Chain A
């Protein structure tokens, strides 16, 4: 069935260190993988996305990698800052129905 698994559920890193969040998906036909950041009490905001024809994409301190063979994709945040503290959701688009399914979320805390 349609499923996106996300790990870890919580992550605490020292300010300035890197954070990595990993996801797997079940539909090999999935071709679009967005990442959202949700701060407390706010709406989810798209921070980066990747399409299946690309293996890696970077935007300043944020990068996403995709391994289509293994059906894995990951979010990497370097030089973490206090404002990176939030819940991060990975997602995958199931092309058969053109709908986006979300992972369970990762609560990222940045220690000063």
Chain B
């Protein structure tokens, strides 16, 4: 496996502000994803972070609200823009490692509370 780190681990934000979450992996990565997990709920895919190009967003998620960057193979950011209380969730980075075609690992998550 690999060490996947996320920053910040948690934050409390005011509505209308934005927060950028970072994900860093210490191994070679083929694919990176961002998921949202609302309280007591399952994992919902937000987007696939593509290296050097625009992310691929799932239905219900748009770039203006969740801009994503992936400047290199092992690092990605997710921004939650113009936040509202409904954005309070855990945001998880997930990766597939080089040499493991399908297996997907998760970062520790960022716990976001919007007031």
Contact = CB atoms under 8 A, between A and B. Distances in A.
B72 interface: no
B13 interface: no
B103 A43 contact: no
Q: What interface size band does chain B fall in?
A: 10 to 19
A99 B41 CA distance: 19
Q: How large is the interface on A (under 10, 10 to 19, 20 to 34, 35 or more residues)?
A: 20 to 34
Contacts of B108: 42-43
Contacts of B33: 99-100
Main secondary structure, interface of A, reads strand
B42 A102 contact: yes
A36 to B, nearest CB: 8
A100 B31 contact: no
B48 A46 contact: no
Interface string B79-115: 0000000000000100000000011111111000000
Given A43-B92, A99-B48, A89 B104 contact: no
B73 interface: no
22 contacts: A32-B102, A34-B103, A43-B92, A43-B109, A46-B104, A46-B105, A49-B102, A49-B103, A51-B102, A89-B42, A89-B43, A93-B102, A99-B33, A99-B48, A100-B104, A102-B42, A102-B43, A102-B44, A103-B42, A104-B41, A105-B41, A105-B42
Given A44-B106, A102-B42, 18 more contacts: A34-B102, A34-B103, A34-B104, A36-B106, A43-B106, A43-B107, A43-B109, A44-B92, A45-B106, A46-B104, A49-B102, A49-B103, A51-B102, A89-B43, A98-B31, A99-B33, A100-B45, A105-B41
List the 3 shortest-distance A-B pairs measured between CB atoms, nearest first. Answer: A43-B106, A32-B102, A102-B43
Interface of A: 32, 34, 36, 42-46, 49, 51, 89, 93, 98-105
